[in-house]
Amino acid sequence: MTKIRYAALLISLCTALSLASAKEAETAISLSAVSQEVTGSSAPSEVSTGGSQTTTPSPEERTIEAPEELPDAALEENLQTPDLSQLQPEELSIEEQAKNLQYGIPMPWGHELFEKYRQYYLSDGGRKILLATMQRAAPFMDYIQSKVAEYGVPQELAYLPVIESSFSPFAVSRSGATGIWQFMRNSIVGYGMSITEWVDDRRDFMKSTDAALNKLIDNYNDLKDWPLAIAAYNAGLGALRRAVNATGGDTDFWNIYEKGLVSRQALDYVPKFLAVASILLYPELYGLELPSSSIKWEAIPLDRQVDIKLLAAKAEIPLDTLKLGNAELHYTITPPENTHLLKIPADKSEQVKAILSDPSAPLVHYEIYKVKQGDTLTAISKRYGISISMIARVNTGLNPDRLRIGQILMIPLSLQPLQGSGSSGGSAQTSTHTVQKGDTLYGLARRYGTTAQKLANLNGINLNSILRIGQKLKVPAAP
């Protein structure tokens, strides 16, 4: 019986050893497979060690050795979940990252001029230019980007004013192009803008933005290519149409670029713009901290003329803010028509509306002039430096050819140039003006951004003093 028990125990021991060997082999095979999957290598049939080759021993040649006992600490370390947070993929260069980003207009990576402009604008000097330009853009970007989204055009177009005007609404080119989007006089027809003795809508950031985006859309609908549409914004749609026709209908701008079928200025305009846009779309990639949009604007209709200097003081809005938002005005006074829209910071909306709704609140400075014998409207307009049509518009029902002695005329003294120079300080610097034929204190005051009374006081003369040709007058120096 005892022999049977020993035999049974021996059989059990052999079985256990066989199972353990099988499990060990299975584990070895599975680890080998995982290693192959990670490294992409195939399982070797031979193990190379120090240049010699050793074949895998057969099961009969194997000897079973007891494994060394692992310390408890090593076992615990083996069971812990590994920290993979420090394992980063190979870092891409900034240029490689830039190429992997999304753009509304394909960027011409590798194009010589495009890359040169990128290199320039990413230099220390170029970065300063971009940051200064986007600082000027801050009051307008919220509106421009909202319109870009509304029209569904490539977001890059929001940055076109960078190379057009550096985002200055008062910018005027040598050829006369004006405003943020640099419209010529003959290019505003059909785009909701006008130029009058009161306003130049090319300087209106709202109207000109809508006009520019519509013009670019019209170019794209005609040419079927955004780089071509952008080139047409610079050189004119006709020039780009002729270039496309010269290629037999090829609407790829870069083919037209290689063939030089339009002016060099227009050809270079596109890669320069795209270089700027490629950077400003993703400023954080290049370590550029752009200013956020600083003002949300609201346009409110007026039912009377308003001197924005008076409104700024009453509503506690910086005058420069109102000048910037209403740069289309020739003067600090709004047009007499009731169709004008005044742009104000949205957070001042209720305050401004309350002021405008108060009929007793004076919002324009007028001088009351009583017509004397011998007066003509021409003489009165020269005295005050105001056109006859302006006086006529302010004085409803006035017949310029039939002035009556004793008739009362309202002369708007708020009619100061929007961009006039001047200073409110008593120690302001002055320069000298030599009186010429037709000069008046009122006209000179508007030219130099001050008032006739201040100009009279500065020169120690009476407001009604007659100026002599050749007379030297002190006037505020330009800032």
Cα–Cα distances (Å) from 342 to 57, 193, 361, in that order, read: 94, 15, 17
Diameter over CA atoms, the chain? 154
pLDDT of residue 339: 80
DSSP track, 348-409: GHHHHHHHHT-TTS--S-EEEEE--TT--HHHHHHHHT--HHHHHHHSTT--TT---TT-EE
* Alpha-carbon span 122 to 386, nearest angstrom: 50
Q: Which residues pair with 147 in a beta bridge?
A: none
Residue 196, token pair as written in the block: 């009058």
The alpha carbon dihedral of 376, 330, 413, 462 has a sign of negative
Residue 375, token pair as written in the block: 């007066």
What single DSSP character describes residue 238? Answer: H
Looking at residue 282, its amino acid is Y
Cα–Cα distances (Å) from 153 to 44, 103, 215, 233, 474, in that order, read: 58, 12, 12, 15, 53
pLDDT of residue 209: 98
Helix (H, G, I), strand (E, B) or coil at 154: coil
- Residue 250's closest CA among 281, 233, 228? 228
pLDDT of residue 6: 46
Count CB atoms within 10 A of the CB of residue 195: 16
* Alpha-carbon span 168 to 185, nearest angstrom: 18
pLDDT of residue 284: 97
pTM: 0.68
Q: Which positions are annotated as active-site residues?
A: 164
Please say whether the beta carbons of 305 and 361 come within 8 A: no
CB-based contacts of 320, cutoff 8 Å, min separation 6: none
Domains of the chain: residue spans and CATH: 102-196+203-286 (1.10.530.10), 295-362 (no CATH), 365-415 (3.10.350.10), 430-476 (3.10.350.10)
pLDDT of residue 475: 86
Please say whether the beta carbons of 98 and 283 come within 8 A: no
* Burial label, 383 (beta-carbon count in 10 A; 0-12, 13-18, 19+): middle
* Alpha-carbon span 178 to 181, nearest angstrom: 7
The radius of gyration computed from the CA coordinates of the chain, to the nearest angstrom, equals 40
pLDDT of residue 44: 37
pLDDT (tens, 9 = 90+) of the chain, 479 residues, equals 444 444 444 445 444 444 444 444 443 333 333 333 333 444 333 333 344 333 444 444 444 344 344 344 433 443 344 444 444 445 789 999 999 999 999 999 999 999 999 999 999 999 999 999 999 999 999 999 999 999 999 999 999 999 999 999 999 998 999 999 999 999 999 999 999 988 999 999 999 999 999 999 999 999 999 999 999 999 999 999 999 999 999 999 999 999 999 999 999 999 999 999 999 999 999 999 999 888 999 999 998 889 999 999 999 999 999 999 999 999 888 987 778 999 999 999 999 999 999 988 888 877 888 999 989 998 888 777 777 877 887 788 888 888 999 999 988 776 667 875 433 333 457 788 998 887 888 778 777 777 777 888 888 887 777 888 988 998 887 54
Please say whether the beta carbons of 169 and 179 come within 8 A: yes
